[in-house]
Copies of this chain bind each other. A is one copy, B any other.
Amino acid sequence: METISKSWQVMAMVTIKDVAKEAGVGVGTASRALTGRGAVHPDTKAKVDAAAKKLGFVPNQLARNFKMRATMCVAIIIPTVFHPFFAKIVHYCELELFKLGYRLIVVNSQDDVGKETQMLNMIRQQRVDGIIFITHYEHDDIDPNLPIVSIDRHVGSGFPYVTSNNYAASREAVKSLIDSGAKKIGCVCGATAVISGTRHRYEAYTDLMNEYGRPVWLLKPLFKHGQEMEVMREYFRQHPETDALFTGSDMLASAAYHVARERGMRVPEDLQIIGYDGVLDAWETHPKLTTVRQDVPKMAHAVVELLMNRIHGEEAPPRVEIPAALVKGETTR
């Protein structure tokens, strides 16, 4: 570690000791008065507060953190924040956490399992109070006592997680395609190494196809953000006669729209598309995607609540489900 300029540490050099002296009390009393923990006579508190104000006292959070063994920081590990779904998650988690006095540290794992492990370690050394961990991989070597929670994809050792009603919502989506008269329905859904709620999306599709005696045209590619177009091109190479498509994410759906155009297919006339997530609408993209919209604000609220339970050692449900709903856009009839 190099020497660093202590620009704003310098200006805050008035300590609780100074406040105590100014107020004519002991540091312990000053501390109790300032933090509000422990009984203090109102008059004393008033004196201390006045002294603190007069001196412009700013408590040294670093000392507090050290003493209290807490940082009031939570980290979120995601593949990348430059993805609308994760950006939305991060946005709402940050809001929730801020209300509770916590800061959110964002870490992009770039969907790399090695980096995830490395980051998990770095973050633990930094002693954040909790972690929201969103991964596509298996991590069964993580201490199950750690205050970790997840969204959608549940990490190995059974950490609590928040998810949407993937199966039911996906079923509704695919059913709507059937009802619209679509004959050749396909599905593209990212594969995940972990047992993830997202698998229920294609399972709903598969079940429904079987129930209706339709062929199952399912592609479950392992891909990273940015490769959606290639994935969809591959799908259409396999099943060019598809007339309706259900995808595991809006990004895939959007790519499907583009590939359809490349192939001269009209949407929704020749090809209907339904995505999942419901995060592109805020970006004024075209066409308005028909999609299964997850309630990200509620999910963020729930995941933060779950994390707080773990941090404070309270009982927490292993799983919270937030309903998602099909939203009609311009890519279906």
A263 within 8 A of B: no
Interface of A is mostly: mixed
Of B1, B69, B122, B226, which one neighbours A62 at CB under 8 angstroms? B69
List A63-120 residues whose CB lies under 8 Å from chain B.
63, 65-66, 68-73, 75, 80-84, 87-88, 90-91, 94-95, 98, 103-108, 119
Residues of B within 8 A of A5 (CB): 147, 310-313
State how many copies of this chain the complex holds: 2
Q: Contacts A105-B104, A127-B62, A280-B283 given: A4-B311 contact, CB under 8 Å?
A: yes
The number of chain A residues touching the other chain, given as a range, is 35 or more
Q: Mark A291-333, 1 if CB is under 8 A from B, else 0.
A: 0000000000000000000111100000000000000000000
A174 within 8 A of B: no
Q: Contacts A127-B9, A261-B286, A286-B261 given: A81-B94 contact, CB under 8 Å?
A: yes
A212 within 8 A of B: no
Of B7, B69, B83, which one neighbours A145 at CB under 8 angstroms? B7
- Shortest CB-to-CB span from A113 to chain B, Å, is 16
Q: Is the CB of B68 within 8 A of A65?
A: no
Besides A62-B71, A229-B284, A258-B286, 5 other A-B contacts (C-beta < 8 A): A81-B81, A103-B126, A225-B282, A255-B284, A257-B284
